[in-house]
């Protein structure tokens, strides 16, 4: 006797899914309908054509040319580039500080260990937004005026109008120098490849990172010396009356955002690094030492590759968190993606389009970051079997 079709599992599954799909589609349709009606009531049109209109507002900090008469799209791009800048710098410095904190947490020195622990426990249990607002209003805005600036060797000036640091100015030969750097990169890549091949043949892993760094720096320095005119001249900031002239002035908003993100994320990365290193069993280190590897070799060849496997996945999510958290810039007034989009929304009232644009952009950034980190994770994975 054949199964009746209403008791056939395959059939029921298909029916259930079809019903679910219909329900979802109906829900989306109903929501969309409501939205269109509501927008019509408010007399709003939909579509992304408004992006071509003149923005008419200023953005203080930008990496590409922008003015009041630029389009909304251009304003959006300025914000996007600022987000990428803040995230990249944040990730770089947070990783560096996080490594230091993680190492301090593993130190045999009681004071250093406790200091790192207290730092981690304080920072991890306070909301990032509170930390950012506090840090911005109570430190960066309360720095001395330009007349009484704190001066650090460099010279670096700390003032309530920003932090001024020395910066390079490109001279005529800068473009040629960039080509030389590209050449250096190519040579380095070739050499890295050769080193890896040699390592495979002889079975003795060479210090690939060290040697590639040396090669690249060698080419860079050689190029710098051989040029008749150096490609960059150092631009040293100085105080000129009530302003800071020359150099590069980083705004309090930018500094508060980047340093706040770094301080916050480094605490999490520190814990991740500690957990990763502690996950490698002590026997591994002892075995490496008994095979005759010295302390540095056993760290480089035995402990570190194993720790990295535990470290990379949570590190990825911290990087993604940092990128998403950069949207809190709106609280300190740094014009990144979210904050610029907020201004665009206030001027145009296009809630749906602006929110769609923001979400799509953040999704793409997250996707690219996680693709890269997944590739890296694949590279450092445990090669089993």
Partner 1 sequence: MSKVPPSRALPPITKRFTALDWLYKNLFSPWYNILLTLLASLILYAILKPTILWILNKARWEVIGANLRLLAVGQYPADQAWRIWLCLYLLVGMIGLTWGVWARMRRLTLAAWLTFFPLIALIVHGSPLAKPLLPLVPSHLWGGLLLTLLLTVVGMVFSFPIGVVLALGRQSKLPVIRLFSVVYIELVRGVPLITMLFMAQLMLPLFLPAGVTIDRVLRTMVGITLFSAAYMAENVRGGLQAVPKGQYEAANALGLGGFQTMMNIILPQALRAVIPVLVGQFIGLFKDTSLVAVVGLLDLLGIANSVLAQPAFIGLQREVYLFICATYWLFSYSMSYASQRLEIALGVGQR
Give the integer Cα–Cα distance in Å for 168 and 176: 16
Which lies closer to partner 1 via its Cβ, residue 277 or residue 331? 331
Which lies closer to partner 1 via its Cβ, residue 12 or residue 63? 12
* DSSP β-ladder status, 150-152 and 238-240: unpaired
Least Å from the CB of residue 40 to partner 1: 11
Q: Is residue 17 close enough to count as binding partner 1 by CB under 8 A? A: yes
- Residues sharing a CB contact under 8 Å with residue 245, sequence separation 6 or more, in sequence order: 237, 238, 239
- Residues sharing a CB contact under 8 Å with residue 35, sequence separation 6 or more, in sequence order: 352
Number of residues that bind partner 1 (CB under 8 A): 53
Using the rule CB under 8 A, which residue among 59, 91, 128, 163 binds partner 1?
Answer: 128
Q: Is residue 25 close enough to count as binding partner 1 by CB under 8 A? A: no
Least Å from the CB of residue 365 to partner 1: 8
Q: Is residue 125 close enough to count as binding partner 1 by CB under 8 A? A: yes
Using the rule CB under 8 A, which residue among 81, 84, 115, 185 binds partner 1?
Answer: 115
Using the rule CB under 8 A, which residue among 134, 152, 179, 238 binds partner 1?
Answer: 134
Least Å from the CB of residue 205 to partner 1: 28
Q: Which residues ranging from 365 to 384 are in contact with partner 1 (CB under 8 A)?
A: 366-367
Which lies closer to partner 1 via its Cβ, residue 287 or residue 367? 367
Contacts 24+ apart (CB under 8 A), 230-235: 230/171, 230/173, 231/170, 231/171, 231/173, 231/174, 231/176, 231/177, 232/168, 232/169, 232/170, 232/171, 232/174, 233/168, 233/169, 233/171, 234/166, 234/167, 234/168, 234/169, 235/166, 235/167, 235/168, 235/169
Using the rule CB under 8 A, which residue among 345, 376, 377, 380 binds partner 1?
Answer: 345
Stretch that binds partner 1, among 74-82, 129-137, 289-297, 299-307 (CB under 8 A): 129-137
Using the rule CB under 8 A, which residue among 54, 107, 145, 279 binds partner 1?
Answer: 107
Q: How many residues does the chain have?
A: 385
Least Å from the CB of residue 155 to partner 1: 21
Helices (H), the chain: 9-41, 72-105, 110-124, 128-135, 174-202, 208-226, 252-279, 282-290, 295-298, 304-325, 337-348, 351-380
284 SS3 class: helix
**Site residues for partner 1 per CB under 8 A:** 13, 16-18, 20-21, 24, 31, 34-35, 37-39, 41, 107-112, 115, 121-122, 124-131, 133-134, 137-138, 324-325, 327-328, 330-331, 338, 342, 345, 351-352, 355, 358-359, 362-363, 366-367
């Amino acid at each position: 006797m054949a199964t009746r079709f209403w008791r056939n599992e395959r059939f029921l599954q298909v029916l259930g899914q079809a019903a679910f799909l219909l329900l979802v589609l109906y829900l989306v349709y109903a929501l969309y309908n409501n939205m269109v009606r509501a927008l019509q009531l408010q007399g709003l049109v939909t579509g992304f054509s408004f992006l071509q209109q003149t923005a008419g507002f200023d953005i203080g900090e930008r990496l590409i040319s922008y003015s009041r008469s630029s389009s909304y799209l251009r304003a959006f791009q300025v914000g996007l580039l600022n987000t990428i800048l803040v995230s990249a710098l944040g990730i770089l410095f947070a990783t560096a500080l996080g490594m230091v904190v993680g190492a301090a947490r593993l130190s045999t020195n009681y004071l250093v260990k406790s200091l790192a622990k207290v730092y981690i426990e304080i920072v991890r249990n306070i909301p990032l937004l509170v930390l950012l607002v506090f840090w911005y209003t109570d430190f960066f805005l309360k720095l001395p005026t330009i007349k009484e600036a704190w001066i650090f060797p460099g010279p670096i000036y700390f003032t309530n109008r920003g932090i001024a640091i020395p910066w390079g100015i490109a001279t005529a030969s800068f473009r040629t120098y960039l080509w030389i750097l590209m050449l250096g990169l190519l040579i380095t890549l070739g050499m890295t490849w050769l080193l890896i091949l040699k390592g495979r043949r002889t079975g003795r892993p060479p210090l690939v990172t060290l040697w590639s760094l040396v090669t690249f720096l060698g080419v860079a320095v050689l190029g710098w010396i051989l040029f008749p005119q150096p490609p960059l001249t150092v631009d040293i900031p100085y105080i000129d009356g009530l302003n800071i002239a020359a150099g590069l002035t980083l705004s309090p908003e930018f500094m508060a955002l980047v340093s706040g993100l770094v301080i916050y994320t480094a605490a999490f990365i520190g814990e991740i690094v500690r957990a990763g290193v502690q996950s490698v069993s002590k026997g591994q280190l002892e075995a490496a030492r008994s095979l005759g590897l010295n302390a540095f070799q056993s760290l480089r060849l035995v402990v570190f590759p194993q720790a990295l496997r535990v470290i990379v996945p949570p590190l990825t999510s911290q990087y993604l968190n940092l990128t998403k958290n950069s949207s809190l810039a709106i609280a300190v007034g740094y014009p990144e993606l979210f904050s610029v989009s907020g201004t665009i929304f206030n001027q145009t009232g296009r809630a749906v389009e602006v929110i769609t644009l923001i979400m799509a952009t953040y999704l793409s950034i997250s996707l690219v970051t996680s693709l890269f980190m997944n590739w890296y994770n694949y590279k450092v994975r445990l090669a089993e079997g």
